[in-house]
Amino acid sequence: MQKIRYKNVLILGLLIALIISINKCSSNKKLIASQHTILLDTTNHFKNELGTITATKQVLELEKKDLNELLYSKDTTLNVLRKEFSKVKTIIQTQTITKINTVSVPFEVYVPYEFERKGKYQKEWFQFDYTVNQSGLSFTDFTIPNKQISITGFKRKWLLGKQTYVTDITNTNPYINNVEVQTVQVVVPKRFYDTRLFNIGVGFLGGMLVTR
């Protein structure tokens, strides 16, 4: 009777382990399909409740080996920045262009003769067209390009030092500064059968029953 009970418990344990394995396999297949879709996805824009424009895109989930292949090996800047972390949790890359159509600066003292000069000023980190005449100075098509890289993860000062959970935000444009940064992460509790302790317990129980 006791032997039958052990067999039933063993079967139940193996059945649970099988269900977990199938669930993980299914999740991995969905993740691969999702990665392919997101890589082909474009950034969308919509008007939010504040009346401004929000850019949105799906989150790309990658394993460490895929992260090295798809991001680090192709982006030198990102590869340098991520080496400051002992473990990277999330990476956000944002491409922005600040545009100002027209800025007019009238002269306080009117120039007593007519003249006009036009030109284009182009640098790596900003560019604009300008017009100056007897009335004043005006800038048009003022643009400021920037790429922002946000990395959230763990840092430590030395190999065995205490880990600190931080967010680093870096701009490629040297004229742009981040005045304040705040990162809030919502912790989602794991289901009991997704925990490592549960999987170890099932394996240990199965091993004990098999040896009896």
pLDDT tens string 154-186: 998 877 778 899 999 999 999 999 988 888 887
Q: Is 197 or 112 the better-scoring residue by pLDDT?
A: 112
- The answer on 98 and 159 residing in a single domain is yes
Residue-range definition of the domain harbouring residue 201: 1-46+188-212
DSSP summary character for residue 123: -
Residue 54, in any domain of the structure: no
130, 129, 123: which is closest to 144 by C-alpha?
123
CA distance 183 to 89: 13
- The answer on 116 and 33 residing in a single domain is no
CA distance 162 to 158: 8
What is the per-residue pLDDT across 93-103, written as a single tens digit (0 to 9) for each? 899 999 999 99
CA distance 39 to 66: 12
CA distance 208 to 6: 10
Residue 14: beta bridge partners?
none
Residue 111, in any domain of the structure: yes
- The answer on 66 and 42 residing in a single domain is no
- The answer on 198 and 156 residing in a single domain is no
- The answer on 160 and 200 residing in a single domain is no
Domain tally, the chain: 2
Residue 39, in any domain of the structure: yes
- The answer on 118 and 41 residing in a single domain is no
